[in-house]
Amino acid sequence: MATGPSALRISRHAGREEAIAGWFFLLPALALLGLFLVWPALQAVLLSFTDYQLLAPLPTRFAGVENYRQLLGDATVWRAAGTTLTFAALAVPLQTGLALALALGLNQPVPGRSLLRAAYFCPVVISTVVAAVIWSYLYHPTQGLFNRLLTDAGLPAQPFLSSPRQALPAILGIATWQNVGFYLVIFLAGLQQIAPQLYEAAAVDGANGWQQFRFVTVPQLRRTTSFVVIVATIYALRLFTEVYVTTKGGPFGATRTLIYLVWEEGVAFRHTGYAAALAVLFFLLVLAITLLQRRLFGGERGD
CA-to-CA distance for 96 and 84, rounded, in angstroms? Answer: 18
Look at the chain and count its residues. 303
Q: What is the DSSP letter of 264?
A: I
CB 217 within 8 A of CB 225: no
Q: Which is nearer to other proteins, 61 or 295 (CB)?
A: 61
Nearest approach, Cβ of residue 268 and other proteins (Å): 6
Nearest approach, Cβ of residue 94 and other proteins (Å): 24
Binding residues for other proteins (CB under 8 A): 51, 53-58, 126-127, 129-130, 133-134, 137-138, 140-145, 159, 162-164, 248-253, 264, 267-271, 274
CA-to-CA distance for 266 and 54, rounded, in angstroms? Answer: 8
Compute CA distances 204 → 33, 82, 108, 197, 221, whole Å: 51, 50, 20, 10, 21
CB 192 within 8 A of CB 178: no
Angle at 163 between CA 160 and CA 167, to 5 degrees: 60
Q: Which is nearer to other proteins, 175 or 186 (CB)?
A: 175
Q: What is the CA radius of gyration of the chain?
A: 24
Nearest approach, Cβ of residue 286 and other proteins (Å): 25
Nearest approach, Cβ of residue 61 and other proteins (Å): 11
Nearest approach, Cβ of residue 60 and other proteins (Å): 12
CB 260 within 8 A of CB 249: yes
Q: Which is nearer to other proteins, 117 or 271 (CB)?
A: 271
Nearest approach, Cβ of residue 165 and other proteins (Å): 11
Burial class (CB in 10 A: 0-12, 13-18, 19+), 247: buried
What residues pair up with 62 in beta bridges, in sequence order?
A: 50
Q: Which is nearer to other proteins, 78 or 269 (CB)?
A: 269
Q: How many CA atoms lie within 13 A of 91 on its CB side?
A: 32
Nearest approach, Cβ of residue 90 and other proteins (Å): 22
Q: Which is nearer to other proteins, 231 or 264 (CB)?
A: 264
Q: Which is nearer to other proteins, 183 or 244 (CB)?
A: 244
Compute CA distances 108 → 98, 206, 215, whole Å: 16, 21, 18
Q: Which is nearer to other proteins, 138 or 231 (CB)?
A: 138
